[in-house]
């Protein structure tokens, strides 16, 4: 992002991180938001929301640090992993993924594109959380999920796949959506 913070990009005049936290909090579930220790602007974006900021001292290590912290804080419950840089995921999408988890609590539940391409968010059942605690580096949960058949929840369009990482991604997305 060439120095900009993609999670503080505005979507409809609201920082993306706050927008996604509001959608998650609307589900009536415990919401943890992992933050690096040096991210006061991200923390400020979450003020007065029904979410629990979870400071991850080793956040610079990469995604594995957040997954380890989330797994430890989940206290034996399933963990819905939602990447905050996916601006098309909304409350209705989270509700659909959570409903699929409640129908199959031992299964991995994964949002997918309309065409069935696996995406995010992903619900990792409690039985797999120990595997998350062993991750390291900038890797996601792929290793822990290997060999697991996932219940796919197709979402409209490309919502489960739209991930904005660069200024060019953001510009193209804004041109397409008008947001």
Q: List domains and CATH numbers for the chain.
A: 6-177 (3.90.550.10)
**105-146: pLDDT as tens digits:** 999 999 999 999 999 999 999 999 999 999 988 888 999 999
* 3 has pLDDT over 70: no
CA distance 134 to 128: 11
Query: What is the model's pLDDT at position 155?
Result: 97
- DSSP single-letter state for residue 123: E
Tell me what percent of the residues of the chain surpass a pLDDT of 90: 78
Closest by CA to 144, choosing from 41, 40, 67, is 67
Query: What is the model's pLDDT at position 74?
Result: 92
C-alpha distances in angstroms, 168 versus 12, 87, 103, 123, 142?
18, 15, 39, 30, 27
Provide the mean pLDDT of the chain: 92
**Which pTM does this prediction carry?**
0.91
* 70 has pLDDT over 70: yes
* 1 has pLDDT over 80: no
Query: What is the model's pLDDT at position 76?
Result: 86
**14-66: pLDDT as tens digits:** 999 999 999 999 999 999 999 999 899 999 999 999 999 999 999 889 899 99
């Amino acid at each position: 992002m060439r120095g900009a913070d993609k999670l503080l990009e505005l979507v409809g005049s609201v920082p993306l991180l706050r927008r996604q936290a509001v959608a998650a909090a609307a589900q009536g579930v415990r919401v943890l938001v992992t933050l690096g220790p040096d991210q006061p602007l991200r923390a400020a974006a979450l003020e007065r929301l029904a979410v629990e900021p979870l400071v991850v001292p080793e956040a610079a290590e990469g995604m594995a640090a957040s997954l380890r912290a989330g797994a430890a804080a989940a206290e034996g419950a399933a963990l819905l992993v939602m990447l905050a840089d996916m601006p098309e995921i909304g409350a209705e999408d989270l509700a659909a993924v959570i409903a699929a988890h409640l129908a199959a609590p031992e299964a991995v539940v994964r949002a997918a594109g309309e065409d069935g391409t696996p995406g995010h968010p992903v619900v990792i059942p409690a039985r797999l959380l120990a595997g998350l605690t062993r991750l390291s580096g900038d890797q996601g949960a792929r290793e822990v999920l290997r060999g697991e058949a996932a219940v796919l929840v197709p979402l409209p369009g490309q919502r489960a796949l739209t991930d904005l990482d660069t200024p060019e991604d953001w510009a193209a997305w804004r041109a397409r959506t008008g947001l």
